[in-house]
Structure 1
Amino acid sequence: MILYCSYMIDRRLQVLQAIARHGTVTAAAEVCRLTPSAVSHQIQALSRELGVGLLEPVGRGVRLTPAARTLLDHGQALTARWEQARADLAAHRAGSVGGTLRFCGFSTAAAAVVPQAMERVRLQYPSLRLHLRETEPARSFDLLAANEADIAVVVVTTSIPPVSDEAFSQRALYDEPLDLLVGPEHPLVGHDEVGLADVAGDPWIGSNPGRAYHQLVLLACNAAGFSPDVAHYADEWDTGAALVARGFGVALVPRLADLPARHDTRRIPISVAPVPIRRVIAAVRAGSAEQPTIAAGLEALRQSTEALFLTLDGS
């Protein structure tokens, strides 16, 4: 990924990387907070200065040339080396850790995991400023790449970069079970053994397409041998629980999700294979994990996650 320090590496490489990830000039412009014409102008100027073509038209879109891929490979390597250099230089600085540590994460982690980790960091480094932004997983990686976040806590879905992407360092935090959520009069209430296939014929409450939760529900149901009939779309747990409570459908709910008590629903752990889970990871820019602030944040996440699941297992 491309270095954010303009005095070290040309920031136009960040724009080129955004095009590589998102596939279009328009999408890259949105991520980089530029207009499409500004993106095109910057890439054309960079192409002229380097003397090589960087983009070529494909239908109504564009694709990177081999020269552009080579350029991004070098930019990615230099970025990782710069992040490592910052970690090495920290050893020469006297005094306590300062500055800002910026987290981003999806809704459940932003409520159940990250604030607890931030509290641990604050106790260890009182002068460190802490910041949290709630985001979808794919957007979290854009924030990392643009140096608008330092640590992302995300659900593994097909929308995020693969673990082989050398621009980022990814590490597993926890696997979270997904429970079945039904209304109080549902026939499965009180059953000892329940599988997803038992609700294959039910209407479903899902989130809107493009959201990480939407992907998780589809994948879980497909693994159980059926495609869910999504009757209603709700991105907030409050809305989804209200629909489930009144018999409009069933849903999958993460174990850590805190549902509003005013809706009369029943959580049923799924005990018949395949048992759906979602894997949650922490991601940082490649080479940055040893920087003192980021290392402290990652360790705090590990400790908070461990403490949280010890509590859940004991309950």
Structure 2
Amino acid sequence: MIDRRLRVLRAIERHGTVTAAAEVCRLTPSAVSHQIQALSRELGVTLLEPVGRGVRLTAAARTLLAHGETLAAQWEQARADLAAHRTGGVGGTLRFCGFSTAAAAVVPQAMAQLRRDHPALRLHLRETEPARSFDLLAADDTDIAVVVATPDIPAATDGTFDQHVLYDEPLDMLVGPEHPVVGRADIALSELASDPWIGSNPGRAYHQLVTLACTSAGFVPNIAHYADEWDTGAALVARGFGVALVPRLAELPARHDTRRVPVGAPPVPIRRVIAAIRAGSREQPAIAAGLAVLRQVCADLSTTLDAPK
């Protein structure tokens, strides 16, 4: 119902280059260029101008996208209104995406409850990084994204999406069994400033969280090893190769001998977990049901989040 080239233009705005937009839209760069050139000709305005190795949107393009946001939200609302004419309860397909911990600890619980409450509802989950989740939302390839708030995701004021805070999750220190802080009730993050650190690869949400937490505590972490999987990170920590920050809900393999120590002195590192949907879609029955169950599951996590494992 809405010109798909507006999604391509939005992807260029978000990612800054035709090549990056082509990747997230699953098109070739030449196809993206052709679509935007055709749209520009049809509207009689210039939409893109070169800047360095990338491009930037013209004032006309930003005006077009502002109208596109309104149209997209109205279309999502229309889908919600049309659902009122259907019978048989909540049905169709509800697609979730989420980062690793949420995909394991939160979303499956919500999906299980939805399956009990709405047997006709088909459910789907995809594990993704936060920034990629918003690309999937914008492309209508997912309906609810459960993501960590990082600098890479759209601002809460972005009119393309509605974002809802689900919970704040503390990050604990993960150390080996012989580390000097083992047995302490809590520590200050700055006490481990001189330790080697284990973090995920640059560009991932966890890398940003660790870097931000440490710089907030007054130091830049010496990242000695990079590990994207908790299994790898825990194995390195257990053998004394470094320390790591670990989310409280993260399940670590029991075969690695590690210790969690809470950070008690400010600044206490946390990660904020949010649910994001397309603007205007919150009243669609399946999405409304999914958000309600997600909030309930996250409210039930309070006891787990209050104390380290």
TM-score, normalised with respect to structure 1: 0.96
Q: Look up the equivalent residue of 1:270 and give its one-letter code.
A: V
The aligned residue for residue 130 of structure 2 is 137
Q: C-alpha separation between the residues in 1 aligned to 2:243 and 2:288?
A: 41
Note the C-alpha offset of 1:157: 0.3
Instruction: Tell me if the contact between 2:189 and 2:263 (Cα under 8 Å) persists in the aligned partners.
Output: yes
**CA RMSD in angstroms, aligned pairs only:** 1.1
Q: C-alpha separation between the residues in 2 aligned to 1:57 and 1:180?
A: 46
Is 1:17 the counterpart of 2:10? The answer is yes
Note the C-alpha offset of 1:312: 5.1
The aligned residue for residue 269 of structure 1 is 262
Instruction: Tell me if the contact between 2:248 and 2:305 (Cα under 8 Å) persists in the aligned partners.
Output: no
The aligned residue for residue 234 of structure 2 is 241
Note the C-alpha offset of 1:115: 0.2
Superposed, which structure 2 residues align to 1:1-315 within 5 Å? 8-311=1-304, 313=306
Count residues with an aligned counterpart. Answer: 308
Q: C-alpha separation between the residues in 1 aligned to 2:299 and 2:185?
A: 28
Q: C-alpha separation between the residues in 1 aligned to 2:90 and 2:124?
A: 15
Q: Look up the equivalent residue of 2:132 and give its one-letter code.
A: R
Instruction: Tell me if the contact between 2:186 and 2:261 (Cα under 8 Å) persists in the aligned partners.
Output: no
What SS is found at the alignment partner of 1:194? coil
Q: C-alpha separation between the residues in 2 aligned to 1:248 and 1:313?
A: 28
What SS is found at the alignment partner of 1:160? coil
Instruction: Tell me if the contact between 2:169 and 2:305 (Cα under 8 Å) persists in the aligned partners.
Output: no
What SS is found at the alignment partner of 1:278? strand
Note the C-alpha offset of 1:311: 5.0
Q: For the structure 1 residues 224 and 62, does the alpha-carbon distance in structure 2 shift closer, same or farther, using more than 3 Å as the test? A: same
Q: Look up the equivalent residue of 2:56 and give its one-letter code.
A: R
What SS is found at the alignment partner of 2:19? helix
Q: C-alpha separation between the residues in 2 aligned to 1:36 and 1:299?
A: 39
Q: C-alpha separation between the residues in 1 aligned to 2:80 and 2:41?
A: 35
Identity %: 78
TM-score, normalised with respect to structure 2: 0.98
Runs of 4+ in 1 over 3 A off after TM superposition: 310-315
Q: C-alpha separation between the residues in 1 aligned to 2:238 and 2:86?
A: 57
Q: C-alpha separation between the residues in 2 aligned to 1:302 and 1:54?
A: 40
Q: C-alpha separation between the residues in 2 aligned to 1:243 and 1:221?
A: 20
What SS is found at the alignment partner of 2:294? helix
Could you report, residue by residue, the CA deviation over 1:27-71 in whole angstroms, capped at 9, with x for unpaired residues?
000000011011101111111111111111112211111111111
Q: Look up the equivalent residue of 2:245 and give its one-letter code.
A: L
Note the C-alpha offset of 1:153: 0.2
Q: C-alpha separation between the residues in 2 aligned to 1:234 and 1:124?
A: 39
Q: Look up the equivalent residue of 1:166 and give its one-letter code.
A: G
Q: Look up the equivalent residue of 2:46 and give its one-letter code.
A: G
Note the C-alpha offset of 1:192: 2.6
Q: C-alpha separation between the residues in 2 aligned to 1:97 and 1:172?
A: 24
- Long gaps (5+) in structure 2: none
Q: C-alpha separation between the residues in 2 aligned to 1:184 and 1:159?
A: 35
Note the C-alpha offset of 1:100: 0.3
Q: Look up the equivalent residue of 2:106 and give its one-letter code.
A: V
Q: C-alpha separation between the residues in 1 aligned to 2:186 and 2:45?
A: 63
- Long gaps (5+) in structure 1: 1-7
What SS is found at the alignment partner of 1:76? helix
Q: For the structure 1 residues 69 and 312, does the alpha-carbon distance in structure 2 shift closer, same or farther, using more than 3 Å as the test? A: closer
Q: C-alpha separation between the residues in 2 aligned to 1:276 and 1:310?
A: 18
Note the C-alpha offset of 1:139: 0.2
